[in-house]
Structure 1
Amino acid sequence: MQIDYKLLEIRQKTKKILVLLLLLFFGIFIVLFSIYRTVQEKRTLPTLTGEKSELAVRGNIISEDGFNLVSSKKIYKASIDTRYLNPDKKELFMILFSIYSGIDYKTLSEKFKEVDKNPGLLVLSYNIDSRAAKNLRELDIKLNQLNVFIPRKGGSLSLIRRLEVSESGEKRTFSYDDTLTPVLGYIKKIESDSGKTRVEGVKGLERSYNQKLNDVKDGILKGYRDVISYIYFDKNSIMEHRIDGYSLNLNIPLKLQKNNETTLDNHKIRTKADEILLTIMESRTGKIISMASSNRFNPENIKQSDIPYLNVNAIEYQFEPGSVVKPLSISLALDKGVVRKNEYFSAYNQSNVKGAYPFGKFTIKDDHAFPKGNLSIDDIVIFSSNIGTLQIAQRLTGPEFYEGMKKFGFTRKTGIDLPYEKRGVMPKLWQFSVGDKQKRPNIYKATVSFGQGMTSTFIQLIKAYSVFNNDGAMVTPQIVSYLSRNSTKYQSPFFHEPEQVISKETAAEMKRMLIKTVQEGTGRSAKIEGLEIGGKTGTAQIAGGSGYLKKYISSFVGFVNDEKGNSYTIGVTVINPNPIRPHYYAAQSAVPVFKEIIQNLIKLNYLSPKEDITLEN
């Protein structure tokens, strides 16, 4: 048998190659397996979990037409450890940081001078916005590639501290400067347990809804850290999304509010008043669609001169309301049936001489002469007779008058969703009852019946007058329509059901007289054709420590309706207008403001007159 040595040699070489390939494959497998085990061991070596939080922020305040009036934004802290900053590239760092952060280069230079002699941690800013924070994180990567950061001398060669950007808290932003202040209120900064800046309401809506606005929960990410200290996701990781505070959605549209504030600013100059107050409320719902003052401030930049403007005087300032109370007093008597609609009362005058009613050592007078010598109830309301009103009030017993005024809302809070509301003051029940058994006239019933000897707030008058435009039912003023979070709506905790104060018939009768007052009486300059407008003027002196001052408060409170069903209760109060007669009277100071506010409602389509009306400039 002949052996083919050549073929045998080939087979032996092939066998060797196969063995070598098997050995190589086995070696690669061992290496890969070792690497896999090493990575797994290193990934699971740390026994401590990592945790990262995401700051939740205070809720927004949003106008009825969808504008963010107030919002919170996260702010960030940017810092470096100057011991890790390459001295040769310090200038490069400052130039680039200035560009990316928007912080002035000179400001940065001054900060670096503070730590030049004692290198260490340097906070470059506590007030970096989210966009700048994102830019700075990108800058950090670029700076690291440019070797701007180096290990510090004597430290670990592997440890380098770079540019650090972290959440430092939240900043409250008022987007439209002084719009809707002081109703929105203002805030103060506080330090949370985690060392981050939070805010808390001090006045206005920021205060009354503080708990809801600040009902937040920070987001949390928990998990194991990998070899380079990043938290990685697996089935054991915990991730909770942040929950921001409730947002307040107002009944007040921004455009109407700004128009009305401009109106008040102009009339403040015209009347030379200390302040003018305005409120427009839906008569049937209590929704306040505008609440304005001529005295406002920027909550982000409160100055010393702004301090007198910080209070919401619509609810905190108490004053003698004057004749606007007369329709309320007369309504109580009509509702009790102690006077007849067609009844007449003495004017206590002769010919064209103004009336004078003797009341013990006092004499109560009227500003208007009544030639006929007697007064119908219409005359008393239309021409604002003190003498006629007090005679009607005397028909009520002390408890009837006292409880009736309380039912109209005096000496109790209205329930409006603002803090620090005042109640006003009124004589005690026993003072109103003096002389009841002997059927003698009572001085307290007399003076309070025409709005003196008592105090109320502006918002109490608005609430009381809603009765006449709502079938005798009184609604609670509400600024916030609803709360919202994550597209879910929640009812305001301040909501209250209407309360019946007088009968529907009595309300209709007084409404008729108030409309007649605008048609023929002291409110004539409020008249606008095509709309149903009613209201009552009131002028009263401001009381001081030792008596009445030569200062006045003028008001006009009433309502306006159109044929489409739009129905509003509106009030204007002018505090200390020009004291020269007759400028301080409501007819000259408050009524023109009232009329222009109605014109604003027409221009912005909240009211539709029966026919096209050319508005006065």
Structure 2
Amino acid sequence: MTGRQLVGRGRVVAVLVILLLALGALIYRIVDVQATPDPRILTDVAIPIGEIIVPAPRGTVIDRNGRTIALSLPAATVVANPRVIEDPHGAASALSEVLGIESSELLDKLQGEGAFRYIVRQIDPEVGEQVNDLGINGIKVIAEPRREHPNGDCSALAAVGRVNIDHVGMSGIEETYDEHLSGTPGRVVKEVGVDGTTIPGGLQEVTEPNVGQDIAVTLDRNVQFQAESMLFDVVASAGASSGVALVSLPATGEIVAMANVARGSDGIVNCTRQNLAATWTYEPGSVFKPVTAAAALSSGAVLEHVEIAVPSYLTIWEHRFEDTPTHPDVEWTPTEIVTRSSNIGTIKMAQMTGEERLYQTIRAFGFGSRTALDFKGESKGIVPPLSRWNGLSLPNMAIGQGLAVTPLQMLQVYNTIANDGVRVPLRLIGDGSGPPAEEGPAPVRILSSDMASSLMRMLESVVLSGTGQQAVVEGFSVAGKTGTAWQPCDIGYECVNERNELIGRHHTATFAGIVSNDDGPALVVLVVIDRPKGDVISGGRLAAPAVSDIAEYSLRQLRIPAVFDAGLGERRRAEPATVPTTTTEAPPDSSVTAGAADAGGTRT
């Protein structure tokens, strides 16, 4: 091979080596870019993927007659993409005139990083149309559901509850049954450009939402509204701090109205998000005395028409108990004791009954336990166990002191008496409504039918000639009991000011009424007024008239007749709820906390 040929071959080899090296470098660079891409390159060339969550239409809350209590309606939500807004100051000024929001506040949302900002959410659709008409680049109006309440935002606030801005249940039934009501959200996934606009022909994936389910409650929308309105008036006129009104059907345990109102820091009485009926505990006072009478009658220690010696006063553990008005030593039947709301007579019945039987009866009625409603935050009340009782526990608890109860627990007692001695679990959800649930507690017989009838006669006497005469409802028979209790305050049951001077007591007025027609007990109405001021503070003068008014409206609204059955010529009792065929020797164990006497007795 000549020298010229060798040189030529060397050049070819050199070129091949260079090409191979260049190819290797190119391959390395391709692999490097794919494995560890430069973030700046990704920012320039990536195709953003946009995702929009599509809320599922929320189910409607309806009342026992199918009328709407809470529903979701379309509303307008204004959003902005600051990246494409050319004149933020001009846009803020124009939006300010339509939305009624200061332009300085809007300007903060129209500038800065990001491609999505909420300007204002869930406004009236008409206002949204006005925003659209402005034609501002980067401002959009999207549809979003808003929860509405036909009876007003206040009505059934504590029981039904409310949702937050994102349509998530935050309280009451809206929270408890949120999953059932809310359904499953859908979503839209699509390719968008750097300015947030959709790329035509790009990737798009749509998942339809699953609609939430309706839920029916046992409330009557009109009775609920009227009970709230009447309760507002009573609490406001009495200068009270709060009030609760409950209406139920004793045979089924259904709650027809659950009103909760409270006076705010501004002094205005309004609805409250706190479900006082379930979460607030208080000492019930004389409205509790039928529980003591039930224990005494069922134990056989006393008989309905047999007189008991009632002294002018009792001294127990150096504590003096008296009645108001005072009286000499007398002999009264249990009916007269309950009618007069005698503390001494009630304590005597409790002494004849004994601690264990009284305690068992208290627990059997449901005190010391949550009701079947089992609201979030619901209180059990306070019932000291027998092991913690002292010499004053029996006399105090007998007259509704030394234990704490909720309004719902007191309602349950009067439901049980009205329902022929059968305790039926309280209900707020209609039959066949809501998600499948575990089987709830069964009805339980607490008293014999004879004992329940005896208690009904005693309570009817309270309204006919005792402390509850202002609870009368024309055309109906009313049985009930008053209570005017003292509540614990700064020094025992005495309230003091900042100079430690006595300024009075904290009173709570209660009336529980059972309203009957010719078919027997039809309604139970309970009204509790806390911290009334002035001269009218008793259960008989403050709460009883409210019960009468609420009952009268409820009876009309529920179309419950007051017609005497001439064919039978006698009053018939409503059929009680069915109970298991098991028998029990005594009421199950139980417990509660303190209260005071009413117009017919003193709290001591």
Q: Give the TM-score of the pair, scaled to structure 1.
A: 0.70
Contact 1:417 1:478 in 2 (8 A): no
Q: Mark the CA change 1:378 to 1:198 in structure 2 (over 3 Å): closer, same or farther.
A: closer
Q: In the TM superposition, what is the alpha-carbon distance from 1:424 to its structure 2 partner?
A: 1.6
Which of residues 566, 569, 574 is equivalent to 2:529?
A: 574
Question: Considering only CA atoms, is the larger Rg found in Structure 1 or Structure 2?
Answer: 1
Aligned alpha-carbon RMSD (Å): 4.1
Q: In the TM superposition, what is the alpha-carbon distance from 1:276 to its structure 2 partner?
A: 2.4
2:589 corresponds to which residue? none
Secondary structure at 1:183's aligned position in 2? helix
Q: In the TM superposition, what is the alpha-carbon distance from 1:585 to its structure 2 partner?
A: 1.9
Count of residues paired in the alignment: 503
Q: Mark the CA change 1:292 to 1:114 in structure 2 (over 3 Å): closer, same or farther.
A: closer
Aligned equivalents of 2:407 and 2:122: distance in 1? Answer: 43
Cα shift readout 1:564-591 (whole Å, capped 9, x = no counterpart)? 56711111112122353xx222111111
Which of residues 341, 359, 364 is equivalent to 1:407?
A: 364
Aligned equivalents of 1:49 and 1:94: distance in 2? Answer: 29
| Larger deviation, residues 566-575 vs 278-287 | 566-575
Secondary structure at 1:358's aligned position in 2? strand
Which of residues 518, 535, 553 is equivalent to 1:563?
A: 518
Which of residues 459, 462, 468 is equivalent to 1:523?
A: 468
Q: Quick check: 1:358 aligned with 2:291? A: no
Q: Which amino acid aligns with 1:557?
A: A
| Larger deviation, residues 47-56 vs 507-516 | 47-56
Cα shift readout 1:258-301 (whole Å, capped 9, x = no counterpart)? 2222212222233232222210011011111111134389xxxx
Q: Quick check: 1:587 aligned with 2:540? A: yes
1:243 corresponds to which residue? 210
| Larger deviation, residues 204-213 vs 385-394 | 204-213
Q: Which runs of 5+ in 1 are unaligned?
A: 1-46, 150-161, 190-196, 349-354, 435-441, 612-617
Aligned equivalents of 2:327 and 2:426: distance in 1? Answer: 38
Q: In the TM superposition, what is the alpha-carbon distance from 1:205 to its structure 2 partner?
A: 3.0
Contact 1:62 1:247 in 2 (8 A): yes
Contact 1:62 1:248 in 2 (8 A): yes
Cα shift readout 1:135-194 (whole Å, capped 9, x = no counterpart)? 699979xx7xxxx97xxxxxxxxxxxx765557x654444512122333334445xxxxx
Alignment of 1:306-455 (within 5 A): 309-348=272-311, 355-368=312-325, 373-432=330-389, 442-455=391-404
Alignment of 1:131-280 (within 5 A): 131=125, 164=140, 171-175=146-150, 176-189=152-165, 197=166, 199-201=168-170, 203-214=171-182, 216-220=183-187, 229=199, 240-280=207-247
Q: In the TM superposition, what is the alpha-carbon distance from 1:452 to its structure 2 partner?
A: 0.9
2:411 corresponds to which residue? 462
Q: Mark the CA change 1:492 to 1:324 in structure 2 (over 3 Å): closer, same or farther.
A: farther
Aligned equivalents of 1:128 and 1:584: distance in 2? Answer: 44
2:259 corresponds to which residue? 292
Q: Mark the CA change 1:496 to 1:386 in structure 2 (over 3 Å): closer, same or farther.
A: same
Q: In the TM superposition, what is the alpha-carbon distance from 1:538 to its structure 2 partner?
A: 1.1
2:509 corresponds to which residue? 554
Secondary structure at 1:295's aligned position in 2? strand
Aligned equivalents of 1:457 and 1:251: distance in 2? Answer: 20
Q: In the TM superposition, what is the alpha-carbon distance from 1:418 to its structure 2 partner?
A: 2.5
Q: In the TM superposition, what is the alpha-carbon distance from 1:307 to its structure 2 partner?
A: 10
Q: Mark the CA change 1:122 to 1:445 in structure 2 (over 3 Å): closer, same or farther.
A: closer
Q: Give the TM-score of the pair, scaled to structure 2.
A: 0.71
Q: Which amino acid aligns with 2:386?
A: L
Aligned equivalents of 1:411 and 1:110: distance in 2? Answer: 52
Q: In the TM superposition, what is the alpha-carbon distance from 1:336 to its structure 2 partner?
A: 2.3
Q: In the TM superposition, what is the alpha-carbon distance from 1:475 to its structure 2 partner?
A: 2.2
Q: Which runs of 5+ in 2 are unaligned?
A: 1-46, 193-197, 495-504, 565-604
Q: In the TM superposition, what is the alpha-carbon distance from 1:537 to its structure 2 partner?
A: 0.8
